[in-house]
């Protein structure tokens, strides 16, 4: 078969490993031809695609990012593409498509499949917010990077008897912050799922200092929000140039804790470092397995499905299961971290 | 409650993180007293134990090894201890015990519980061979270390156009080798579950060289065995001093491949590096969650059970489920790696 | 002898390794008594000090930060302490002092020595801005952390065809940025020593994109400044709460490059991660050697001197040589990075 | 100018970074043409060479190994090549050569230069045994890898109350072992420069155990030798198949210490992992600077010279200075490690 592959949405360590795995499995075992579609659905729309073979994927297992590029495409364009699915597929000469992306991409997989371009999805998100799969690749790497940062911050916070506020990725869900916070032994873990009371955070830190501890680490997701009225500043002022002042929640939280506590509090905004670089071993394996099973799914005709990790097994799940709701941190998982709060 | 905690069996990154988590959860939430039992069941037998509190577990989240020590104890001694369970518990003043260890330890948990010393088990193995849990802590760290080694060996193998044979841990199961082999992109993965034919391995490498590739990486589990008659040397000769000659399978495989291929082949035996050092973020979180749930299990009275990861949840499973059989690499998991073979 | 040891100034990986080395060398070889002075010169002034032995330094080789604590002390207080040097030394029972710190600390070493408290200095700075020593411990670790971040940012910048601006430490000197920028292959390296023209930076990036490259990495020291009139925003506005708006130079540079280029540009402010955590092997060895030589210097009576690395040797240098000028990046070192600009 | 570049001798992290730097500096600044010569001097002899440009060196900064390949060539062949130097240079169209290699390569640089093929040398060795330069690239990476291994071995040695013997690279010199041993806090450091007395090593470990310490780490260079008569086994028996029994000194030392001490002692042979993989930041920078200066040296006509690090500066040194003697660990450097012995 002639199988297209594209990567869509935000960057995520392991995308290249999926591409490599698709090529290995498709070429070596099934005798498929693999066509790399550039810049996500944009390449499909603009017929930018090229055959990829073994040489093109050499070294990709360990390389972050995506050699196919990725771009965000407006919904109308996607809808237009769905309407012209068969024609677009014919132009770049593919019989089926493996689409690696987030919730939106998985949703599109179903639409394209119904419209005549059979698509298998591979879920991708560093945020771990896709339902119906235990986890996706990229998440473990993001947590690894965030944990290494917390490890480093701890010693310097202790030496200087400071509060360190480390802001981690996660606009809608707190998985990275919860997990890296637990792995790094953060003393407070603030996530979007649970609006925080800054007075309570300050009190908890004070009690910690009263017990003779000389420092504290607060891990905060970029999407964490104060409970109404608990922070002096509103969130997200925008200045006359259109730039947000004060930076994000991490910076503002540090400033305000410093005022409340009368102690040095410093923000660290880890940012895009969490999205890049070589994937962890775990993410490489998961990405490789997803690629392997996506090719098998194409040959089985399991279109409109995506690869999901369930326990130790990869299963094929209807995309509808992934797009109905965002997977947020449930109360009982949050409870497990309270011991270290 | 007064809860004892001990670590038993081979070393495993994350043991200290479990101990720390037990102390945090027990002291802070339940007001328990935690008693650290030294050197596994030996400390129970010899009444070597001490109360441990917050200060004793500071820094343990990231520290490999076990501050309680670990020792292997003969079966008869364990049997004797079971017979004197209540008395031994009374001597060190504990009402219940959290026993962190491998298959043997989990088995003992049931015996002690029946004999009057209620025990909750926490599974531990870098080998990932305990059934009834998706995975245990320590495994991810071992795979991480092994993968980093393979990453490094690849560039040097390529520059020198060599075959590199890297021997990884796993006497009875191939999980570390399969997983690190896939993560590192090894070209051959040899595991105990599947006796290998050295001629076939050599042929595969030759075909690779014929395709213009200048090097190969073979990942081999220490317990991998040649199919009968396929290797010139028998495995495991012992010299007059009682020491094994030729090293293990890795060394012998490299020697023999060199002879068969007429190309340089070098063994690397990674050894105990896989067992030590700071746990990965994933293992720290898993260990912390296991400790949390073990304390809860004690308070629920779920004795004779152990903490198990099932998907994303921690469940309590009767120890009988863990000790009936070794979890080996199934055929379909092995198949997923064939693309990279 | 009774030798005090203190750490002063900002945090720096390797401080603990010096303390450990002083204890090992002093106790084991010379039979000294080592007294740890808390919180830098503050502990000297307030007579907060305690004997430290082997058990106190176990594990310190790999631990970032300083177990003795560190605090900044006002100049007048230091002057007062110099006037009462002998008395303060007598109170905590020390015959000599090893002071580990930056330029200011080394300067104080001379004053105390002249005033009757003989001091040997050990230079410490992650910024590498102390003259008269090739390098100090902490710098290699900071560069290591910054380089890992750039490595990770590269793949994500490339996948999304973005400009990434990474702001690194260095208020007065550009050593970390120059070195990590070269190590990470940054395309622009902006340091305090060389005011930059933002139009020129933008043009360079455009030429790079014109050559078909899809991304660029700009490494900028926190103290880098635009040449007069080349940036739209002034540096360092302060809002009504006393907090700096727009963050630092990295954030502002990214915003303005985005406007100039019409391309996404994202800032990453690495921050305190560069100051913490386990030191690199190189820094551990340098710190250990400095501690060793500091003890020898005390026994030789080389007071008012500090340990300096010259080539491969540790030499004792009069502190006057370290405090006359800041070691900035010279023009010829900068030139070496131009190939990658 | 048309400048050839080749890499010769054993693998070393940073070789690719030198090649990249030569291309950047030569093409961008001097308008040179760079010709990559394959497999060291073998490619020169066999006229295997190709022009290399920017695209060929993309990604090389962080990639271990050498994309040009490397091969060991017999001395007579080198001599023949020297006799035909001008002719060989003409065949592949080069005016000058940058030869990256060890002592032998640097020696050849002089011979070729005298014979009409002007050569500039770039020193390369993970062993740090080249005189006249403070250090070369590759060494820091080898030490980094070895130190990480020792860090991991420490926790597992302690948990199991074991002696761990870690064998590191260095047949003739002990630099890697001395430096990684100090960085990892090894309790014994055995190097070729100082034949060891195994009874003394055993006694030192026993004293350590007597002081209540539960483990010991011995770092031993592969070329370390026992003082005459102090070990029961002779070094390097060879069996009937031509393979060395017992492995190297690490394995034998562990066996014998186990017998002497009556305690578990385990060998870990780190092997080729020390030679491969991404270079440390420090090695990347040093390699980049060497490449930069090598191109400048070609344009200055400094043939028969090699790039050397002296303090913080790169200098050009006559190759004669590098080849007169091996740089071994001097007594005073060894002394600095005694505190941790």
pLDDT digit string (tens) for A177-232? 999 999 999 999 999 999 999 999 999 999 999 999 989 999 999 999 998 766 76
CB contact under 8 Å between B135 and A24, yes or no, is: no
CB contact under 8 Å between D153 and B15, yes or no, is: no
D30: chain C residues, CB-CB within 8 Å: none
Q: Is residue C333 part of a domain?
A: no
CB contact under 8 Å between D285 and C310, yes or no, is: no
Which two structure tokens, joined as six digits, stand for C61? Answer: 């080789």
User: Are the CB atoms for A233 and A252 separated by under 8 Å?
Assistant: yes
On the question of pLDDT at C259 being above 90, the answer is: yes
Q: Is residue A329 part of a domain?
A: no
Give the C-alpha distances (Å, rounded to integers) separating A303 from A21, A82, A123, A306, B254. 19, 15, 14, 8, 45
A135: chain B residues, CB-CB within 8 Å: 312
A167 marked as binding residue: no
On the question of pLDDT at D51 being above 80, the answer is: yes
C277: chain A residues, CB-CB within 8 Å: 148, 151-156
Identify whether B127 is a catalytic site residue: yes
Residues with pLDDT less than 50, chain B: 234-236, 239-245, 339-341
CB contact under 8 Å between B340 and A280, yes or no, is: no
Q: Is residue C339 part of a domain?
A: no
CB contact under 8 Å between D268 and B272, yes or no, is: yes
Q: Are residues A109 and A123 both part of a single domain? A: yes
Q: Are residues A67 and A165 both part of a single domain? A: no
Bridge partners of residue B317, in order along the sequence: B306
Tell me what pLDDT residue C232 has.
63
- For residue C191, the surrounding DSSP H or E stretch is none
Q: Are residues B97 and B164 both part of a single domain? A: no
| B341 or C214, higher pLDDT | C214
From the list D129, D125, D120, the residue with the least C-alpha distance to D191 is D129
CA distance B39 to B123: 17
CATH code at D243?
3.40.50.460
CB contact under 8 Å between D11 and B159, yes or no, is: yes
Chain D: touching chains (3 or more CB pairs < 8 Å): B, C
On the question of pLDDT at C340 being above 80, the answer is: no
Q: Is residue A336 part of a domain?
A: no
Confidence of residue D233 (pLDDT cuts 50, 70, 90): low
The per-type count for chain C, helices as H runs and strands as E runs, is 13, 11
Binding site listing of B for substrate:
125-127, 162, 169-171, 222, 266, 272-275
Q: Is residue C212 part of a domain?
A: yes
A298 marked as binding residue: no
Q: B235 to chain D, minimum CA–CA distance in Å?
A: 14
| Average pLDDT score, chain C | 92
Q: Are residues C265 and C172 both part of a single domain? A: yes
Q: Are residues C170 and C132 both part of a single domain? A: no
| Residues on B contacting A at a C-beta cutoff of 8 Å | 21, 24-25, 28-29, 61-62, 134-135, 140, 143-144, 146-147, 151, 179-180, 182-185, 280-282, 284-285, 288-289, 292-293, 310-312, 333, 336, 338-340
pLDDT above 70 covers a percentage of chain C that reads 94
Q: Are residues D47 and D62 both part of a single domain? A: yes
Which two structure tokens, joined as six digits, stand for A77? Answer: 């364009």
| Residues on D contacting C at a C-beta cutoff of 8 Å | 21, 24-25, 28-29, 61-62, 134-135, 140, 143-144, 146-147, 151, 179-180, 182-185, 280-282, 284-285, 288-289, 292-293, 310-312, 333, 336, 338-340
Q: Domain end: B275, B293, B310, which one? A: B275
Q: How many CB atoms lie within 10 A of CB B213?
A: 15
3-state secondary structure at position A62: helix
Mutate to test the interface with C, among D132, D281, D284, D293 (most CBs of C within 10 A): D281
CB contact under 8 Å between A152 and C64, yes or no, is: yes
Q: Is residue B332 part of a domain?
A: no
Express each pLDDT in D98-154 by its tens digit: 999 999 899 998 899 999 999 999 999 999 999 999 999 999 999 999 999 999 999
3-state secondary structure at position A165: strand
* Chain A to chain B Cβ contacts (< 8 Å): 96
Q: Could you tell me whether strands C163-168 and D2-7 are parallel, antiparallel, or unpaired per DSSP bridges?
A: unpaired
Q: What is the mean pLDDT of residues A326-335?
A: 92
CB contact under 8 Å between C155 and A63, yes or no, is: yes
B255, B266, B277 member nearest D152 (Cβ): B277
CB contact under 8 Å between D339 and C135, yes or no, is: no
CA distance B9 to B21: 20
Q: Is residue C293 part of a domain?
A: yes
Confidence of residue D240 (pLDDT cuts 50, 70, 90): very low
Q: Are residues A304 and A212 both part of a single domain? A: no
Q: What Rg value do the Cα atoms of chain B yield, rounded?
A: 22
CATH code at D96?
3.40.50.450
Q: Is residue B91 part of a domain?
A: yes
CB contact under 8 Å between D61 and C282, yes or no, is: no
* ipTM summary value: 0.94
Lowest-confidence region among A218-222, B86-90, C74-78, D86-90:
C74-78
Sheet arrangement for strand B313-318: B49-51, B33-37, B2-7, B96-101, B119-123, B305-310, B313-318
Chain A: touching chains (3 or more CB pairs < 8 Å): B, C
On the question of pLDDT at D295 being above 50, the answer is: yes
D125 marked as binding residue: yes
Tell me what pLDDT residue A341 has.
46
Binding site listing of C for ATP:
10, 72-73, 102-105
Tell me what pLDDT residue D244 has.
47
DSSP annotation of C134 reads: S
Lowest-confidence region among A78-87, B305-314, B315-324, C117-126:
B315-324
From the list B275, B277, B270, B263, the residue with the least C-alpha distance to B249 is B270
Chain C: touching chains (3 or more CB pairs < 8 Å): A, D
Mutate to test the interface with B, among A150, A183, A274, A332 (most CBs of B within 10 A): A183
Q: D336 to chain C, minimum CA–CA distance in Å?
A: 7
Express each pLDDT in B160-201 by its tens digit: 899 999 999 999 999 999 999 999 999 999 999 999 999 999
Chain A CA closest to residue B294:
A336
In degrees and rounded to multiples of 5, residue B84 shows phi and psi of: -110, 25
Q: Are residues B186 and B271 both part of a single domain? A: yes
Chain C CA closest to residue D283:
C183
| Average pLDDT score, chain D | 92
Total domains present in chain D:
2
In terms of Cβ atoms closer than 10 Å to its own Cβ (0-12, 13-18, 19+), residue C291 is buried
B24, B282, B311 member nearest A140 (Cβ): B282
Q: Are residues D53 and D102 both part of a single domain? A: yes
D105 marked as binding residue: yes
Q: Are residues A81 and A182 both part of a single domain? A: no
A134: chain B residues, CB-CB within 8 Å: 311-312
Q: What is the mean pLDDT of residues C188-196?
A: 95
CA distance C244 to A35: 50
Q: Are residues B21 and B39 both part of a single domain? A: yes
Q: For chain D, what percentages of helix, strand and coil (3-state, to nearest 5) are there?
A: 45, 20, 35
CB contact under 8 Å between D292 and C29, yes or no, is: no
Q: Are residues D293 and D259 both part of a single domain? A: no
Domain ranges, residue C231? 141-275
Express each pLDDT in D189-228 by its tens digit: 999 999 999 999 999 999 999 999 989 999 999 999 998 7
Q: How many CB atoms lie within 10 A of CB C229?
A: 7
3-state SS string over D4-54? EEEECCCCCCCHHHHHHHHHHHHHHHHCCEEEEECCCHHHHHCCCEEECCH
Tell me what pLDDT residue A325 has.
87
Lowest-confidence region among A13-17, C319-323, D159-163, D328-332:
C319-323
CA distance C204 to C186: 12
């Amino acid at each position: 078969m002639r199988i297209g592959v594209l990567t869509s949405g935000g960057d995520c360590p392991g995308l290249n490993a999926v591409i490599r795995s698709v090529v290995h499995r498709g070429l070596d075992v099934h005798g498929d031809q693999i066509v790399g579609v550039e810049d996500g659905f944009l390449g499909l729309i603009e017929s930018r695609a090229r055959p990829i073979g073994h040489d093109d994927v050499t070294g990709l297992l360990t390389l972050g990012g995506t050699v196919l590029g990725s771009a965000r495409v407006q919904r109308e364009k996607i809808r237009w593409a769905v309407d012209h699915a068969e024609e677009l597929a014919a132009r770049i000469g593919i019989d089926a498509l493996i689409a690696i992306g987030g919730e939106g991409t998985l949703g599109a997989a179903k639409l394209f499949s119904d419209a005549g371009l059979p698509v298998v999805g591979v879920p991708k998100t560093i945020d771990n917010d896709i339902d119906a799969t235990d986890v996706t690749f990229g998440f473990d790497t993001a947590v690894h990077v965030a944990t290494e940062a917390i490890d480093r911050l701890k010693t310097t916070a202790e030496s200087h008897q400071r509060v360190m506020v480390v802001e981690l990725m996660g606009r809608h869900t707190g998985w990275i912050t919860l997990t890296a916070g637990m792995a790094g032994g953060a003393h407070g873990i603030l996530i979007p799922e649970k609006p925080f009371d800054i007075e309570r955070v300050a009190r908890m830190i004070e009690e910690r200092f009263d017990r003779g501890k000389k420092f504290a680490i607060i891990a905060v997701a970029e999407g964490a929000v104060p409970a109404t009225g608990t922070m002096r500043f509103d969130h997200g002022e925008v200045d006359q140039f259109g730039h947000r002042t004060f930076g994000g929640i991490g910076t503002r939280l540090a400033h305000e804790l410093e005022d409340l506590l009368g102690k040095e509090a410093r923000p660290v905004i880890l940012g895009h470092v969490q999205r890049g670089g070589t994937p962890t071993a775990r993410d490489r394996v998961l990405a490789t397995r997803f690629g392997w099973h996506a090719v098998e799914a194409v040959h089985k005709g399991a279109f409109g499905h995506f690869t999901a990790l369930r326990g130790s097994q990869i299963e094929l799940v209807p995309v509808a299961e992934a797009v109905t709701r965002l997977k947020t941190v449930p109360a009982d998982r949050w409870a497990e971290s309270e011991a270290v709060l």
